[in-house]
């Protein structure tokens, strides 16, 4: 099992998480995280939110999740929906093949400071 870090605002894919609707979870302050542009670890001074939602493409089930300091539920759900819509079944199967155990895969998709998808992703 690989060791995975928390990267803020970067969407990740994993096996179904049991969240048919958007699931939000606040973690206590003090979590160690990384920013996409900065390789130095930081310690969260405020609670971080984890959003997750399950999707399916042709019976292939998967979940998308993101950890962020933002708490804009609606915008983040829309972003996850858009991200899921842009994925193909072949891509999902490829990603899921790397999701053994607790391993997940970060997608190149990131959120901006409003919870929307960044243009380049």
Partner 1 sequence: MSLSLPYPNLVFVPLDVLTAEELNNMMSDISFIANQFPIASTNIGTRAVKKTNVDWSNIVTKTTGANGTVLTFPDGFKIEYGTVSQSLNINTSYEGSYFGAIENVAFPVAFTSTPTIITNTFQSQSLLSTTVSELTASKFNTYIWKQTSKNGVLVSLNWVAFGY
State the DSSP H helix or E strand holding residue 94, giving kind and residue range, or none if neither. Answer: helix 89-96
Q: Are 78 and 66 in contact (CB under 8 A)?
A: no
**CA–CA separation, 71 vs 91, rounded Å?**
29
Positions that interact with partner 1 (CB under 8 A): 4, 6, 14, 17-19, 23, 25, 27-28, 31, 50, 52, 59-60, 63, 65, 67, 102-104
Contacts for 38 with CB less than 8 Å, ≥ 6 apart: none
Task: Tell which residue, 66, 74, 2, 57, has the closest CA to residue 33.
Answer: 66
Residue 117 to residue 111: CA distance in whole angstroms: 5
């Amino acid at each position: 099992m690989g060791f995975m870090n928390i990267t803020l605002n970067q969407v990740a894919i994993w096996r179904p998480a049991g969240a048919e609707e958007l699931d939000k979870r606040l973690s206590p302050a003090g979590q160690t995280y990384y920013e996409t542009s900065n390789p130095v670890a930081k310690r969260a001074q405020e609670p971080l939110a984890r959003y997750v939602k399950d999707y399916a493409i042709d019976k292939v089930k998967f979940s998308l999740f993101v950890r962020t300091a933002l708490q804009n539920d609606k915008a983040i759900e829309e972003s996850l929906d858009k991200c899921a819509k842009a994925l193909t079944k072949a891509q999902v199967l490829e990603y899921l093949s790397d999701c053994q155990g607790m391993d997940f895969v970060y997608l190149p998709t990131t959120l901006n400071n409003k919870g929307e998808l960044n243009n380049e992703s």
